[in-house]
Protein backbone atom coordinates (compact mmCIF):
# COMPACT_ATOMS: atom_id res chain seq x y z
CA UNK A 1 0.00 0.00 0.00
CA UNK A 2 1.03 3.60 -0.55
CA UNK A 3 1.58 5.92 2.40
CA UNK A 4 2.68 9.55 2.54
CA UNK A 5 3.32 10.84 6.05
CA UNK A 6 4.00 14.53 6.51
CA UNK A 7 5.88 16.06 9.42
CA UNK A 8 4.09 17.25 12.58
CA UNK A 9 2.76 20.77 12.98
CA UNK A 10 5.35 23.47 13.58
CA UNK A 11 5.00 26.93 15.07
CA UNK A 12 7.49 29.50 13.81
CA UNK A 13 7.58 33.30 14.03
CA UNK A 14 7.45 35.46 10.90
CA UNK A 15 10.77 35.84 9.14
CA UNK A 16 12.13 32.45 10.10
CA UNK A 17 12.44 29.38 7.89
CA UNK A 18 10.90 25.93 8.11
CA UNK A 19 11.55 22.58 6.46
CA UNK A 20 8.57 20.26 6.04
CA UNK A 21 9.06 16.59 5.27
CA UNK A 22 6.97 13.82 3.75
CA UNK A 23 8.05 10.21 4.24
CA UNK A 24 6.90 8.10 1.30
CA UNK A 25 6.40 4.34 1.30
CA UNK A 26 4.86 2.00 -1.24
CA UNK A 27 6.55 3.60 -4.23
CA UNK A 28 9.82 5.31 -5.09
CA UNK A 29 9.97 9.07 -5.52
CA UNK A 30 12.06 8.65 -8.66
CA UNK A 31 9.20 6.70 -10.25
CA UNK A 32 6.34 9.20 -9.88
CA UNK A 33 5.73 12.89 -9.55
CA UNK A 34 5.05 13.94 -5.97
CA UNK A 35 4.13 17.42 -4.86
CA UNK A 36 2.90 19.78 -2.19
CA UNK A 37 -0.41 21.55 -1.78
CA UNK A 38 -1.68 23.67 1.08
CA UNK A 39 -4.92 24.93 2.56
CA UNK A 40 -5.06 28.17 4.48
CA UNK A 41 -7.77 28.48 7.14
CA UNK A 42 -11.15 28.99 5.49
CA UNK A 43 -9.73 28.89 1.97
CA UNK A 44 -9.48 26.44 -0.90
CA UNK A 45 -6.51 24.24 -1.74
CA UNK A 46 -3.48 25.86 -3.36
CA UNK A 47 -1.04 23.97 -5.55
CA UNK A 48 2.54 24.68 -4.50
CA UNK A 49 4.51 22.50 -6.86
CA UNK A 50 5.75 19.08 -7.87
CA UNK A 51 9.00 17.24 -8.35
CA UNK A 52 8.76 14.70 -11.15
CA UNK A 53 10.32 11.27 -11.11
CA UNK A 54 13.13 12.47 -13.33
CA UNK A 55 13.92 15.32 -10.95
CA UNK A 56 12.48 18.33 -12.76
CA UNK A 57 10.41 20.70 -10.66
CA UNK A 58 7.36 22.78 -11.49
CA UNK A 59 6.09 25.40 -9.06
CA UNK A 60 3.06 27.64 -8.93
CA UNK A 61 3.66 31.28 -9.78
CA UNK A 62 3.08 32.36 -6.17
CA UNK A 63 5.58 29.85 -4.82
CA UNK A 64 8.68 30.34 -6.95
CA UNK A 65 10.64 32.61 -4.61
CA UNK A 66 10.43 31.37 -1.02
CA UNK A 67 9.40 27.74 -1.53
CA UNK A 68 11.83 24.99 -2.52
CA UNK A 69 10.89 21.37 -3.19
CA UNK A 70 13.50 18.64 -2.90
CA UNK A 71 13.89 14.95 -2.09
CA UNK A 72 16.55 12.59 -0.79
CA UNK A 73 17.68 9.04 -1.37
CA UNK A 74 15.72 7.85 1.68
CA UNK A 75 12.45 8.48 -0.18
CA UNK A 76 11.64 11.64 1.73
CA UNK A 77 10.13 14.71 0.07
CA UNK A 78 10.86 18.16 1.47
CA UNK A 79 9.42 21.64 1.31
CA UNK A 80 11.63 24.49 2.47
CA UNK A 81 9.93 27.81 3.16
CA UNK A 82 12.04 30.88 3.87
CA UNK A 83 11.07 34.29 5.27
CA UNK A 84 7.85 32.96 6.75
CA UNK A 85 4.82 35.23 6.48
CA UNK A 86 1.52 35.09 8.36
CA UNK A 87 -0.24 33.89 5.21
CA UNK A 88 1.95 30.78 5.22
CA UNK A 89 -0.16 29.50 8.11
CA UNK A 90 -1.87 26.50 6.54
CA UNK A 91 -2.17 22.74 6.46
CA UNK A 92 0.42 21.40 4.03
CA UNK A 93 -0.21 18.15 2.19
CA UNK A 94 2.06 16.00 0.08
CA UNK A 95 0.46 14.00 -2.71
CA UNK A 96 1.49 11.58 -5.44
CA UNK A 97 0.59 12.22 -9.05
CA UNK A 98 -0.39 9.35 -11.37
CA UNK A 99 2.16 10.52 -13.93
CA UNK A 100 5.84 9.74 -13.75
Domains present along the chain, CATH in parentheses: 3-96 (2.60.40.10)
* Closest of 98, 75, 100 to residue 5, by C-alpha: 75
**pLDDT tens, residue by residue, 9-39:** 999 999 999 999 999 999 999 999 999 999 9
Quote the pLDDT of residue 30: 96
Residue of higher predicted confidence among 98 and 51: 51
Residue 59 has pLDDT above 80, yes or no: yes
Look up residue 28 and give its DSSP letter. Answer: -
**99 pLDDT tier (thresholds 50, 70, 90):** confident
pLDDT at residue number 100: 72
Amino acid sequence: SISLTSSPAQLKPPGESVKLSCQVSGYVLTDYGTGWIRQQPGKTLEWIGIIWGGGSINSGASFKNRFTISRDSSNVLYLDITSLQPEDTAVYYCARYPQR
